[in-house]
Amino acid sequence: MPYQSIFKAGNSNVVTIPTELMKELNLKIGEKVVVEKSPVGQGFLVKKAPSKRPYQDEMLQWFKIFVKENGAILDELAVR
């Protein structure tokens, strides 16, 4: 296991993630992660941030059904 260094980038402290680990965990540059103190020992955990997308998908699906069922009424209201 290679050692990583902590370095400064602006006001942040940065630890690099090896490319191999990025690929293995399917992480992408710019992706949001959560950093937490490890419950045991003196370490920390880095995990993918939970996706907000499922709620957006659910809302979009509901909206499409709503428009399909109420399209005529919505069109009439838009003309007024």
pLDDT tens string 47-75: 988 877 777 878 889 999 999 999 999 99
Task: Supply φ then ψ for residue 48, to 5 degrees.
Answer: -60, 140
Whole-model pTM: value is: 0.53
9 with 18: CB under 8 angstroms? no
Which of 1.10.3720.10, 2.10.260.10, 3.40.50.300, 2.60.40.10 is the CATH number of 1-49? 2.10.260.10
In the chain, domain spans: 1-49, 50-80
Give the three-state DSSP class for 66.
helix
pLDDT tens string 6-38: 999 999 999 999 999 999 989 999 999 999 999
